[in-house]
Structure 1
Amino acid sequence: MMDFHCHLDLYPGARDVYKEASERNSFTWLVTTSPKAFSATSRVLGASPTVLITPGLHPEIAHERASELGLLLQQIEATRTVGEVGLDGSPRYRQHYEVQRRIFNAVVRRCAELGGRTLSIHSRRAVRDVLAELTQHPGYGTAVLHWFSGTIPELKAADAQGCWFSIGPAMFESASGRSLAEKMPRDRVVPESDGPFAKTDGAPVMPWSADETARRLSPLWGLSQEETAETLTSNGKRLLQVMGVDRLA
């Protein structure tokens, strides 16, 4: 199984969950929420041949960690993947939107300057601005829009720009999430958990949830669960090649 967006370091009992994910998954993308968190997580959890830990700066805390932007830009130089980064235009974080935009602009611009990176991107109520930023820096690399929650026209625009999409079991809890999942490009969808923040039945989604994603997605795509799982796995292997970490597949 694979998980292309997981806050593995933030689960209760993170070391045990990290160990189990390392054993059960062929690949887990551990996205961090700040540059200092990336440094600490890399040190505390250590290296695993099946877990990729990447530097990021989550838009929900961008205003609190803006002083770490310089550190993030340095960290990006040493990795081919970045996450979690992006924009959040929901009411709770809208007052800090300009700070978010300044940081995201700097990240995307730096990725373009370095020849391209693969980014796991948060785009809640900010899809148009995220896509505009990516368009402004065409050499940025590859975008993976995590838990996409925009409109159908925004989905079509992101598809036209070649974006990938990572989705997990929690996305299917809403009618809008199911509608979006049904219409996503089938060759650019990969599984994620977004645990421990994402929950189903009141419990955090675990990093080894790809089979559950396939089960919930299969009727929307009109495929068997096995065919859906095979598609997600094939997509994941191709994305890993784009990311330059195909050795983990």
Structure 2
Amino acid sequence: MSLVEIHGISKSYGAVQVLKDVTLDVAKGEIIAVIGRSGSGKSTMLRCINGLEPVQAGVIRVDGTQVNDPKTDLRKLRQEVGIVFQSFNLFPHLSVCDNITLAPRVVKKQAPQAAREVAREVLARVGLEDKLDAYPSQLSGGQQQRVAIARSLAMRPKLMLFDEVTSALDPELTGEVLKVLESVAQEGMTMILVTHEMGFARRFGSRVVFMHEGRVHEQGPAAAVLAEPKTPELQSFLSAVLH
């Protein structure tokens, strides 16, 4: 059974239709790299998956729960679906530990000491265990993004969504964040990433999904799709990003 089922979703902002009849199934443990030009609907699709954006048509299910059913408890759903954005969204007045443990303590009613242990463990996974009591202002952009990923991991989600998580970083910092994504991928986490990092998509993506003008235009095994794009739209997109 698919962990994520997206069937025929459409989404408009006013008169502008950003998603047009999008269908995509994601199996447990798959790593889906979503690529495409700005404005092709990639980020909007991610936000629809965890209910941050309502859809006008179609159905989205995560692990059997229908996301766009008015009766669905979205707060509960979001405990299962981590999302990390390009802006790190850390609370500047809270320490790294408090940023990470806020949700587990409030939502999962974890005891402070247990939550601190979880924070220590997820920081170790992103290579920042020495920053437990640091503040965001004391960290580089790459470190802040790794803390944002650790914060999502602390909720032990079934699915992780990454929206252009390296696009605000310079190349050197991008590398350290991609390393963390690689290790999360190797742990078997189901991941959907909107990304410009074609090398990462090729090495770690089980599948590449190319979005164009609000539709899934082409998809298939990552290495094959990137090596031999079938459509002129994907060919021109790849020649623009790879050169």
Fold match by TM threshold 0.5: no
**TM-score, length basis structure 2:** 0.39
**TM-score, length basis structure 1:** 0.38
| Larger RCO: 1 or 2 (CA < 8 Å, sep 6+) | 2
Structure with the bigger percentage of helix: 1
